[in-house]
Structure 1
Amino acid sequence: MCFTSSESSSKMNGRSIRINRVPATIFAILLTIVLVYFLNFHQEERPAIYGKLRSDNPNRVNLRKMLIAAIQASQRGGLEVLDVARSRQLKERSKGQTDEGVNDPFTDADGRSHCVMKQGLQRIFPRVRIFSEEDKEHCKESHSYDLDPTVLHETAQVPDVSVNAQDVTVWVDPLDATKEFTEELYEYVTTMVCVAVAGRPVIGVIHSPFNGQTAWAWVGNSMSEYLAGLHPPHGQENELPIITVSRSHTAGAKDLARGIFGEQVNLLTAAGAGYKVLQVVANNATAYLHTSKIKKWDICAGDAILHALGGTMTTLSDQLIRYGPDESPVNTEGLLATLEKHDKYMDQLAKYRTAHNGQLT
């Protein structure tokens, strides 16, 4: 018996059974395609179960990547600040005066740091709202960088967590303490990035360009080794609180601090909101007090870092500060920032307010 190339046969009970190979081959191919699709489909769905992320959804933001980008942005902005300082070509001009009548300067370092920080972040996270102190500044060049996970230390606990992009707001301060920068009081100068989710700060980065140290924290997850080393495990108990206030507009804060804590209260005058928060973290101050309005890019990173360490930052009305995209960029109600005894200090402030007919100044 002869067979064609597409057929085979066998005998059973004297009968010949013919099997056509073409349909069988097609069936096997289709079955393989179905199995591959099924396996790949479930492999893509597994991240939702195992905590890993799909990277193809533009409406989601990976907070681990956001942390890495925030650290890099702060450090790269810091390099621009250093470069301008070394060149001594500040190109200083005035943006006007603050409410306290103090000159509000702008330098080439502010502009260059802003462009590097904001454009770098915006390229990686195009659907995230990013607010910078220098948003009015026009950036001529397009700045970008690739994510570098080595900015995290090896023991950092930074899981892959995704959130909706519309819930994320980023606050950028390209150069905190510009006035002091022009005076070469470099210890006060920082570059800062804060990531808020649903209005609450969850990632804070404070980079000090002139000592090269970066304090960062992700609430509930991890913090930089520098920040962990800066914060003493057991803070010293001070007989009288040490209150850090701004050197640029100290009169109201000093008077309020003395009214609340007594004439013998210790006052630490300093510049830069980021620097003052780090003084609280290091237990060089027990509280940071600010009595006038302040921009949210100045305080958001410090708020996140304090929260990560178990501390608190509120308005002087004891309200948490919101950092959502629809919130005002200005906090008009002052602030009190502490690591401990926040409720006690707020009670003392409330008593002072009552004794002064609800007024704080």
Structure 2
Amino acid sequence: MVIEELLAVAIAAGAEILRIYDTDFAVRVKDDSSPVTEADEAAEAIIVEALGRLAPDVAIVAEEAASAGQIPATDKSFFLVDPLDGSKEFITRNGEFTVNIGLIEDGAPVLGVVYAPALGRIWWGARESGAFHGRVLGRAISDSQPIRVRGSAGTGLDVVGSRSHGGSDVDGWLQRFQVSRFIAAGSSLKFCLVASGEADLYPRLGRTMEWDTAAGDAILRAAGGRVETLLGDLLCYGKRNQAHDTDFANPHFVAFGDPALA
């Protein structure tokens, strides 16, 4: 599989999301109290079908299927798919939602695509080839260019955080740094802003699942960044049979642009 094929899959899913975005779509609440729409399900169907054709021997862990209890056995390599990350942003129509496709190998995210269809921006990255950003016009990518995290030298840091989640825990953790600006953003856009040098830090002291983070984490690592747990370990993937939480649940983490900040 080549990255161009994954980019095409993400763009196709994004096109279907945008079609539904302009309708009077219904919203229902899943068992975990998170919202879901027909756009989540339609985009996931497109992605899962395409990945099944492109890489039939690689398992796919996708959010909506997992929510319904359909979780395949995972080997050393598997896909993590969040077909519509930022459902709250989709529902409020602020545009800050993304399509996420990540590939895991030996517990690490090695390839990722994040597409923000309403913003017309797409990011991708792979361990071997680095990270990139482009604009999407129709179904074609233009203005493709490599991206890299920025150094942290200077008087203050730009911190990106969740538009829908946050709180005093994040404020307390950030006291160790001199923060010059806080940027609110939805979905996995936060990883991408750090990867492209538009922010320095993204602390997440709240619940996430692996499909929320895998694609953005892969892009950030390919751009020279690092994602750590609060204990200083690299965030890992394929977490099953966790005594303290459900399968694929993440601990709290911090995404660093400049690894020296860690």
If the TM-score is normalised by the length of the shorter chain, which range does it land in? 0.7 to 0.9
The partner residue of 2:28 within 85, 90, 93 is 93
Give the match's secondary structure for 1:283.
Answer: coil
In 1, the alpha carbon distance for the partners of 2:148 and 2:126 equals 19
In 2, the alpha carbon distance for the partners of 1:339 and 1:72 equals 27
1:259-338 aligned at under 5 Å gives the runs 259-261=175-177, 266-272=181-187, 274-324=188-238, 326=240, 328-331=247-250, 333-338=251-256
Task: Give yes or no for the alignment of 1:174 onto 2:174.
Answer: no
| Cα displacement (A) at 1:287 | 0.4
- Larger Rg, first or second structure (1 or 2): 1
Q: Return the structure number with greater helix share.
A: 1
Task: Give yes or no for the alignment of 1:194 onto 2:110.
Answer: no
More divergent stretch after superposition (72-81 vs 217-226): 217-226
Give the structure 1 partner of residue 15 of structure 2.
79
Instruction: Give CA-to-partner distance per residue, 1:44-91, whole Å, 9 cap, x none.
Output: xxxxxxxxxxxxxxxxxxxxx1533322221111011111012x1321
Residues 250, 225 of structure 1: CA spacing in aligned structure 2 closer, same or farther, 3 A cutoff?
Answer: closer
Instruction: Give CA-to-partner distance per residue, 1:289-346, whole Å, 9 cap, x none.
Output: 0012211111111111111111111111111122237573110x21111120x343x4
| Cα displacement (A) at 1:258 | 4.0
CA contact (8 A) 1:197 1:324 kept: no
CA RMSD in angstroms, aligned pairs only: 2.6
The partner residue of 2:156 within 236, 240, 258 is 240
Tell me the TM-score normalised to structure 1 length. Answer: 0.61
Instruction: Give CA-to-partner distance per residue, 1:112-171, whole Å, 9 cap, x none.
Output: 001111122123322211111111588xxxxxxxxxxxxxxxxxxxxxxxxxx9431100
Task: Give yes or no for the alignment of 1:203 onto 2:86.
Answer: no
Give the match's secondary structure for 1:248.
Answer: coil
Give the match's secondary structure for 1:330.
Answer: coil
Give the match's secondary structure for 2:236.
Answer: coil
Give the structure 2 partner of residue 250 of structure 1.
166
1:4-83 aligned at under 5 Å gives the runs 65-83=1-19
Q: Return the structure number with greater strand share.
A: 2
Give the structure 1 partner of residue 94 of structure 2.
185
CA contact (8 A) 2:150 2:200 kept: no
| Number of equivalences | 244
**AA in 1 matched with 2:8:** Q
In 2, the alpha carbon distance for the partners of 1:82 and 1:204 equals 21
Give the structure 1 partner of residue 137 of structure 2.
none
**AA in 2 matched with 1:338:** F
Residues 257, 124 of structure 1: CA spacing in aligned structure 2 closer, same or farther, 3 A cutoff?
Answer: same
Residues 247, 195 of structure 1: CA spacing in aligned structure 2 closer, same or farther, 3 A cutoff?
Answer: same
Work out which structure has the larger RCO, using CA pairs closer than 8 Å and 6 or more positions apart in sequence: 2
CA contact (8 A) 1:236 1:283 kept: no
Identity %: 26
Q: Which runs of 5+ in 1 are unaligned?
A: 1-64, 99-103, 139-164, 347-361
Give the match's secondary structure for 1:304.
Answer: helix
Tell me the TM-score normalised to structure 2 length. Answer: 0.82
Residues 76, 251 of structure 1: CA spacing in aligned structure 2 closer, same or farther, 3 A cutoff?
Answer: same
| Cα displacement (A) at 1:111 | 0.7
Give the structure 2 partner of residue 125 of structure 1.
55
Task: Give yes or no for the alignment of 1:339 onto 2:257.
Answer: yes
**AA in 2 matched with 1:83:** R
CA contact (8 A) 1:74 1:191 kept: yes
In 1, the alpha carbon distance for the partners of 2:148 and 2:238 equals 32
**AA in 1 matched with 2:112:** G
In 1, the alpha carbon distance for the partners of 2:102 and 2:148 equals 23
In 2, the alpha carbon distance for the partners of 1:107 and 1:271 equals 17
Give the match's secondary structure for 1:195.
Answer: strand
Moved segments of 4+, more than 6 Å: none
Residues 233, 258 of structure 1: CA spacing in aligned structure 2 closer, same or farther, 3 A cutoff?
Answer: closer
Q: Which runs of 5+ in 2 are unaligned?
A: 69-73, 135-142, 242-246
